[in-house]
Structure 1
């Protein structure tokens, strides 16, 4: 049985797809990457050459996220028949292994027992536009090294057992919490000011095309123009986050375990996802990792 594959769904987000392909294509091989091409975009298909590209219709429709995660759930369970671990998430989310652990993500998963769900610690890569003037090229970490804790992106996204994943990928019905020490999920939405603005323009256009209010559409509030705010003010606000003296994320993981509990009677499990007003500077060893 193959060790691991990666699965995502994308529509037009070339900036993030390139990073996703560099990362997982390099680690796992493109033959083990599965890209659901929403809208059958020609650019997505071309970029993902060598991957398993699955084209689906891109017609505007309501209950977008519910349908998307219903489909992703079924793909994950099918791929589990052929892979020990299935990594699933949005195209702007990348699972990484701290180089301090030695080896890489694939070798790490080679040694990981199956029949569990792994939850990497979520870190949001932020573009400090007051400090980081270098443009992003073939790597993101290096030009960008500031991150903030992101509990909403500590997602149970590496699956090697039968379970159900909730909409958005935030919860599963697996009752144990596994948070390996050196494993992180990097959320890249805010890693570059220009890329963020371009992506939000596309997403606002999609929500406008679908029509209806947020509940009817069934998609994240951030896709709606009225919830967007002013882009530059948002990025300037990152400077106010309290810079921690050292990169010591252990307490964040311990807090996840302390608050671990059933999510009501839904069958899902959760931990506290309170926001933090802090940020870290990633150690130099992370540069070039993504």
Structure 2
């Protein structure tokens, strides 16, 4: 049984994203090294996650949902570090990916020094409905090959150091930044238009059940209907994002390091996360990873 890496997430009803998460980490690490917190004890989540370590918790709506969620995830990560060299933690629609040109993610992590937090470059997998068919149920990369640069999703999510992760997973209290070449975080929120609509409908229902506004809740603003906008217009706008030649993010990593600094007096560290409008074509060597 391997003890190099484990993956941890929390999920509620998001079967489409959970299937991709399981295809990716289950295949790489083995399901016995995947830890899934089943928020609300959904039977579909339990069924899909057979062979994984599933922890069922109550799903009652709460205005401090994100604070409670990351308190639990921090505890899981710090506990599992006693048994694994590295623990990957994040939302179910976020997958840490190693460029296949650099090898296998598990082998890569086995060679990484410990007592670090690794920060992949964030890229959003986007669906271009005018170019790509609807539906990506069995495989996402390949049917989807357009990526948008997403500094907000360059998250410090590969942990082998005792540290605290901030709500949302965007910052940690680790004072050194490590951004290995070829390591990415693929955010899947926009990877399929029908799945996006369905997921946003579910999130809007959750915030309606909570019964408070954005300012009164510790829940991401994007979960609220008032911040949603028009779904189809959002996806149509992807066509306007300029396409960059190649697939080289060395300048992005250098900018992250140049802007690295304490996040005020919070104890957390950060780099600048500019709103950069750039789109890339995914090289074929990534196709079929999940």
Secondary structure of 1:83's aligned partner: coil
Whether 1:165 aligns to 2:165 is: yes
Supply the distance in 2 between the matched residues of 1:245 and 1:120 (Cα, whole angstroms): 20
Q: More deviation in 173-182 or 124-133?
A: 124-133
2:156 aligned partner: 156
Aligned length: 289
Whether 1:41 aligns to 2:47 is: no
Secondary structure of 1:59's aligned partner: coil
- Deviations for 1:215-237, whole angstroms, at most 9, x for unmatched residues? 22210111111110110000000
Supply the distance in 2 between the matched residues of 1:23 and 1:176 (Cα, whole angstroms): 28
Supply the distance in 2 between the matched residues of 1:215 and 1:258 (Cα, whole angstroms): 33
Supply the distance in 2 between the matched residues of 1:113 and 1:181 (Cα, whole angstroms): 15
Report deviation, 1:173: 0.3
Kept in 2: contact 1:6–1:33 (CA 8 A): yes
TM-score normalised per structure 2: 0.98
- Deviations for 1:133-152, whole angstroms, at most 9, x for unmatched residues? 26313210000010011111
Cα RMSD (Å): 0.9
1:270 aligned partner: 270
TM-score normalised per structure 1: 0.98
Q: Which runs of 4+ in 1 moved over 2 A?
A: none
Residue ranges of structure 2 left out of the alignment (5+ in a row): none
Supply the distance in 2 between the matched residues of 1:50 and 1:283 (Cα, whole angstroms): 32
Whether 1:70 aligns to 2:71 is: yes
Secondary structure of 1:205's aligned partner: helix
Supply the distance in 1 between the matched residues of 2:125 and 2:50 (Cα, whole angstroms): 27
2:241 aligned partner: 241
Kept in 2: contact 1:116–1:160 (CA 8 A): yes
Residue ranges of structure 1 left out of the alignment (5+ in a row): none
